[in-house]
Every structure is written in C-alpha cells, then in structure tokens.
Structure 1
Amino acid sequence: MPWKDIQVLDQRMSFIVAYRRGEDSLAAVCRRFGVSRKTGRKWVERYCESGLEGLLDRSRAPHRHPNAVSAEIVRLVIMAKHEHPAWGPRKLIPWLRRRHPEIELPAPSTAGEILWRHDLVQPRKRVRRTDPWTRPFEDCTAPNETWCIDFKGWFRTLDGVRCDPLTITDAYSRMLLCCRGLESQNGRLVRRAMERVFREYGLPATIRSDNGTPFASTAPGGLSRLSVYWIKLGIMPERIRPGHPEENGRHERMHRTLKAETIVRPMPNMPAQQKVFDSFRLEFNEERPHEALGQNPPASLYRPSERSYPSRIREIEYASEMTVRRVRTSGEIKWKGGLIYLSEALVGEPVGLVPESERHLAIYFGPLKLCLMDQSTHQLVRIAPEWKQ
C-alpha cells in the first residue's frame, strides 16, 4: 500500500515491527508494505544503527561541493564589504584581486550571493533611465583633453554651515582632481580652488560645465569672469545643453557615489567634512575599481598635463588685421564715437573686431568668437560661440 507523507515515520516503524516479529520473510514484508527489498533492507539497517532517528529522511545534498566557496574567501568578501559599504561585488572582487593575487576569487555574481546571504545587500529601487548621450565624449582620448567641473548640491554640516562641494574630474581617466567644500558658489572662491588644482596637475585643453554660475552667464559667448580666466590660460570652455546633465554623465555618476559616501551623513563642521572629502578622493582615485577602465582605478591612467600653470597670466594678443578695443568698467567698448555694451565679465580685457561681411563685424575674445555687430545700427547679434585656433 502507498505511504502517505504525513505517515511516513509511522509506516516505517510499522514495517520494522512486522519484520522483527519474524513471522514473514523480508521479501514478504516488503510486498505487504509496497516497497522494494532494497528499500526495506535500507530501513532495517538504519534502524539497527540509529534506532528511531535512523528512520527519518536524510539530506540528499552531496557531502562535497567541488565548486563551493571556502570559508576564507567568504570572510574576505565580507571584510571587504565592511571596509567599503557603498561598493558592490563588481567593485569588491577586483579590489580584492589586487590585494590577494595568490587567491582564486569567485565571480562577482558569487560574491553578490555571499553578501545577500549575510544581509549585506540593500536592494535599490529600479529606475528607468534614458539612453546615454555620447556627444561630445568621443574626443576624450587622453588625460587632460577635457576636465569636467560642477557643484554637487549644497547641504549644511551639523553646525549649520552651508557647504557647496566643488568637484573637478578628468573626463578620460575619471580622476577626481578636486573635491573642495566651499562656503558658496562665489566665482572668486572657485578660482582660488582651481588655481590649486592647476598648480598641481597642470592645464587641460577644455573644461566642460553646465550653464549655471559661476561657470557661465547670459553675456555674449556665455562668458563669466571665471570662463574669461580659463580662456586667458588657453583653456576652451565647453558647456552642455541646458537641462541635459547626461551630456556630463561621467561627472554626474561620480556625484552619485560622492553623495552616498560623504554627504548622506554630514560631519559636525567644515574641517571634518573636508577630511571626509579628502579620504573619499584618495580612495576613489587610488583604490576604487572602475568598470569603464577595465576595473582599474583612475590613478592608473591619469598623468599630469604637460602644460604647467604660468607664473604670470599674459594678456590676450590679436592678429594685426583685427581692431582692438578694451572693455571699460561699465562693460562697454567704444566704437565710432558711440558706446556698445558687451559684458562686465570682460572688464579690462581687450577684444578684437574683424569684418565678417559687408554689414557685420565679428567680435572675438582671444580665439572665441563671441557675437556679431551690425555696423549700421551698432546692435549686437547673438550667435553660437565658436572657438577658432
């Protein structure tokens, strides 16, 4: 007769009792209970060895797992996670591999299962994302071709002081060149921070920013005093389109990591917060693997620029065919007896004017074509800024 799951132990015990009476052979008892002689002999032997406990079902899992992860590797993965709580398995395994090259480490998926079993994974809400914007990243083929600059959203330290984190990265290597907590987004403070970065790493060819202050303005060419400073150093300002942070996606991705590891829990004051920023920058550059870099840290690819910061910033010079005018303190230039307002960002700087057509003059600041001027009305005509070497 069939054995029901809820009566398995009772049926096996009844089988043993019937066999031990000795009235029937093992084969006859097996036929009566509807089991094979092999199964009947197995239950008799287990009962003789372990008594009633021998009749319980045993685990069918294999005694040995050839691909099982050792306790030592589990310990290393868990220790690495505690040391870097914000990292996932795809960061932890390359980081461990550099420190323990003699150990054969598991795949990131296996490390993820280890973290999951030990409640070290915090599920994130799935976010629908737009397709990545690739332009203009195709030109970032070497360090210092393009730097990215932005402010991470401001917050207050525990003593109530406002902190505006200024960040600068190298677009090619993802090297975090600056992470400085400022008291505001004032252009003078940003320039002072950038001078330190320029002196340490040299000058890039291009700096990419958004359209906000102090990086840009509504003046011709989008110039601000800070971008004027860049142009005098031979750096081309490059701005993303308004409302399109994905055009600076590499920098924005770094901001997400920065927020998770340094800003979610603010420090008591600005000096303490800056120490956290400095520690994050060191780890981000020297230790944190980056998937786009073949799981190497940014510092392994970055090299300082060959263009060093000058001891004296020279005034911009123009070709002989250009007419030069100096911008007055009011932001105006004088032209044919009249004053034409250009921009206060250019106060004290020379600009060059050259005929563009029979009607228009082009106004340049260094190699940057700012706008056109109608020669008959002396009105400025806004155009898309154009950089001409």
Structure 2
Amino acid sequence: MDDGWSIAAAARRFEVSWRTAKRWADRYAEAGADGMQDRSSRPHRSPARTPRPTVRKIVHLRWKQRLGPVQIGGRLGLPASTVHAVLLRCRLNRLSHIDRVTGEPVRRYEHPHPGAMLHVDVTKYGNIPDGGGWRYVGRLQGERNRQTTARRTGVRNKVYEPQMGTAFVHTVVDDHSRVAYAEIRDDEKAVTAIDVLRHAVAWFADRGVTVERVLSDNGSAYKSFAWRDACVDLGITAKKTRPYRPQTNGKVERFHRTLTEGWAIARHYNSEQARRKALPAFLHHYNHHRPHTATGGLPPITRLTNVPGQHT
C-alpha cells in the first residue's frame, strides 16, 4: 500500500493468495497499522454448540460419578465424541485432574518465593533388626533377626515378642523450592516437633531463606499451645490443614513417598543405624542432584540461588 504495489504483485511476493493479500490491504486502508494485528477466527455465533444445561449435566456426572464419555453419552443420549469435546474444553478429560475423594477439580498452588510456606509432618518407619528386615531377607530370616536383636537389647512387649521400636521422621518441605529438611527422632511429641522446627528455620536461614508461615496437619503436637507459642517466638504464622484433608499438605505427603522409595526401603540395610546414617546422603541427593518436575526438571536447591538479598 505504501509503495504502490498491486494486490497481485504483493500476493506473489509473499506467496499468499490474491484474496488474502486483498483482505490485509483492506484492513490497512481502513484502520492503518492497528488493523494489521491478528484477529480471532472464532465465529460470533455457534448454533451447534452443546447447550449450557447439557454441559452442566456432563460435568456433574464426571465430577460425582467419575464416568467416561461413553457412559455419560449413554445416559444423556449424546455421542461419546461430543461428551469428550466438552470434557476437554472443561479440562476434565483426565481423571487425574479430579480429586479422588471429593470429585472436584484439583486445585494446585505454589507460593511465590522460598520461605513463604513450610510444610511439616511426621512419617513413621519400623526399626530394622540386626541383619536386615523381612523385606530383603524373607519372613523366616527376618523373624530370626528380630529375636536376635531382642536378645541384645532386651526390649520386648507384654507377651514377650520382640519390639523393634519406631523411627519418627520429622520432615519439613519448602513450598516454593521443594527443598527438604528431615530429622529422625524417637517420638512425635510437641517438644520434639518444636525442636525440629527451630533447627529447620536455622537451616533455611543459613541458606538465605526467611520462614514466614508453616503448614501442618491437626496432630496433637501441632495443635498444642507450645507449638503455637514457638511459632510466635520465631515470627512464623502457624497454619492448619482442613480436618481429614491430607491433600492440603500434599507436598510433604508426596515427599514422604519419595523418602520411602529413595531411602527407607531403597536397599538392604544390616541395621537401623545403617539406615539412619544413609539419610543425610539421600537428602543431599534429593536437594542438590535429583531432578524435580515441579521445578522444571532441575534440583530443588536451584530455586534458592537467587533469593533476594542472599548475595548482598
């Protein structure tokens, strides 16, 4: 238009049809440079689109009964392809997008910077007897190892059965970076949980992270006045999950699964002491070397390298 080219010459130069070149020329003549922006090709009206009441019925059956397109289509008298298109448009085409308990869409969140929220919880593992547990040595040898350990320690229950005890692993996971901190203790009392929290806050502070909030479940240790007062002393806001709703604390719950598979039962341990000594190495690998899908395939520690004020 500016250089006086004909429509046909411009179409040949840019290898488009004459009709396309004419349409862009008309837009330029009508609106100038602003008319050269791409426009949506979506039609103004879609008479054949699935009515809203029908869409609500499809979504309701998907949420509440977790039915597939064929079953939903059979109930509503619709083709399965139509039902699938509606589910795809509503992002309900995969059941993984729906909460298994409530049937509602999964709501994911992530705090904007490290330290904005710490997730805390406790997971338990039975102590390993001398010689290894049944998972690797079999039931028969495992029971023999339990008896040998009980003879050494003298710890038995009321009916004289070997009692190995429990390892309480207190875990702390940063919401934004997924960096994890953990300690093995002998109980899950409030005093112990508070001690672990103080150590975790100091550990994160050494890495330039200031803790603002902490999220826990409704366990007795976290509902205590001592926990509340400790959080106040540390300048941390204490939060609780909804009762009977562990998904709210899902990041630490998912870390427990990784902890179990990558450390607790990852290999044969000859004793409980051997497994406990292996925990720091696993945490280092998890934080510094193991790719994490939530951090773009990078190790969690990479999200702590540019914390504001860390290098000043």
TM-score by length of 2: 0.50
Choose between structure 1 and 2: higher helix proportion.
2
Structure number with greater CO (CA < 8 Å, separation at least 6) is 2
Larger Rg: 1
TM-score by length of 1: 0.40
